[in-house]
A and B are shown apart, each in its own frame.
Chain A
Amino acid sequence: MSTVRIPPVLREVVGGNRSVEAQGATVAEVLGDLFVRYPELRARVTEDGELSSFVNVYVNDRDVRYRDGLETQVGPTDTVILLPAMAGGSARAR
């Protein structure tokens, strides 16, 4: 089981968890396992079966786009980090 860290903007679709455990030997399998349990996550992270361009995925500290994308290997002790673009500041209310 690898650990998937969930960013604040996605926590609402995974029951408020900050991190969840997931099965799978690749990023695609790990995400697939999460989508079964948290169906709403799919649309937030993928687009037409590919990773959304607004979300970066890291295995440990490495961006999977610079490795093997969804086929990047995930070991049982690895940490997967989902990282959508985060714009929040507090300069002004919009």
Chain B
Amino acid sequence: MTNQLTTPTIREVTVSEAIEAARGRVIVDVREPVEWNDGHIPNATLLPLAEVAERAPTLLPERSAPILVHCAAGVRSARAAAILERLGYTDVISMRGPLAEWRQRGGAWEVPEPLLSDAQRRRYSRQLLIPEIGQEGQRKLLDSSVLLIGAGGLGSPAALYLAASGVGTIGIVDDDVVDESNLQRQVLHTADRIGVRKVDSAAQTIGALNPETHVVKYPERLTAENVERLIAGYDVIVDGTDNFDTRYLLNDAAVRLRKPVVHGSIYRWDGQVTTFVPFEGPCYRCMYPTQPPDELAPACSVAGVLGVLPGIIGLLQANEVYKLVLGVGETLAGRLLMFDAMATRFDEVRIWRNPACPACGEGSLA
């Protein structure tokens, strides 16, 4: 029986006929990815109905190839077959009848290894709905590792949101203990943890928020001796330190090991963010080739800082991490974003790779 109303010309076949015809035909599954992930015909091509017109010419370059289109029941596949015929495909058949029957009658079937567990699908459901993330992107986040230099004002919001959204491994480098004066902005820590090592306090907070996140504690200060060991195993480094020594040390090691660094700095009402991707964009030394004296870098303990400011800048850093891990969007590589909390104003300037950069330039040893 053909569907006379909408698709007068297409050829429909029963499930038995489809199983018979499947050998020697390109099988096109026009269901949605979420249905595909629950099981599909081996070697079928996933091409959701809504994408048929746009993607068929690329996925199915041979217009005379014999094609079998199917969905779950036969409605979407009939429409897809009609679209394919309009596009010039000459030998398309559509399977009418439930896909369950295909399995009952012994048609080939495979269930892919699930990218996510049921619990993960529930927890991250709002992110899975985002086209640029989906199950594949969530898997990338779960498999990713991010090293936070500092569990302070910038590291706190970054750690909270990265852990909440499923970054699999978070390393934390901090040799400090929680002080009462930290609590105004360092939201990883709580009033009952004054005197506790920040790495322990951070691990406790993250563990309560997302037990799935693996926290690696490094209760040490970043030094020339340990920097490469600390960063080597991580995908992305989030720099939330407060002094030039550490920033230059980290920059040079990250360039050597080709690790992206998301840079944030804050001062009273002002903050800056950028992303350094070695050899693709500028590094910190491209901006400032030599290290300024420390008196140009007053720490928050001296200069003061607005509580909400590291929250805003730290989350902009976390936002950069997503894009680096997922490989989507446009990072701040080559741009320095400046935020003025007093005026509620963002500005940005371009930053360039410096051919004479001592770390990543033409004459460098990297």
Contacts and interface: CB of A to CB of B under 8 A. Distances in A.
Nearest to B305: A90
Nearest to B153: A90
Nearest to A88: B267
Contacts of B269: 8
Given A8-B270, A87-B243, A90-B185, A63 B350 contact: yes
Contacts of B129: none
A36 to B, nearest CB: 24
A90 B154 contact: yes
B152 A92 contact: yes
Interface string A40-51: 000000000000
Contacts of A63: 349-352
B242 A89 contact: yes
Given A61-B349, A93-B299, A94-B301, A87 B152 contact: no
A61 B350 contact: yes
A64 to B, nearest CB: 11
B297 A87 contact: yes
A86 B299 contact: no
A5 B347 contact: yes
A8 B305 contact: no
Contacts of A5: 347
A38 interface: no
B288 A91 contact: no
Contacts of B350: 61-63
Interface in B148-181: 149-155, 174-176, 179
Given A53-B290, A94-B301, A9 B296 contact: yes
Interface in B133-147: none
B265 A94 contact: no
B77 interface: no
Interface stretch (A21-29, A68-76, A77-85): A77-85
Contacts of A93: 176, 179, 242, 299-301
A19 B1 CA distance: 77
A53 B287 CA distance: 9
Interface in A1-43: 5, 7-9, 18
B242 A91 contact: yes
A66 B350 CA distance: 11
Given A9-B296, A91-B149, A92-B150, A86 B301 contact: no
Interface of A: 5, 7-9, 18, 53-54, 56, 58, 61-63, 66, 81, 83-94
Given A89-B239, A89-B310, A91-B242, 12 more contacts: A5-B347, A83-B336, A85-B297, A87-B247, A88-B297, A88-B298, A88-B303, A89-B153, A89-B299, A91-B149, A91-B176, A92-B242
Interface of B: 149-155, 174-176, 179, 182, 185-186, 239-244, 247, 264-270, 272, 287-290, 292, 294, 296-301, 303, 305, 310, 336, 340, 342-343, 347-352
19 contacts: A5-B347, A8-B267, A18-B342, A54-B290, A54-B292, A56-B288, A63-B350, A85-B244, A85-B292, A85-B297, A86-B265, A88-B265, A88-B300, A89-B300, A90-B152, A91-B153, A91-B154, A91-B240, A92-B242
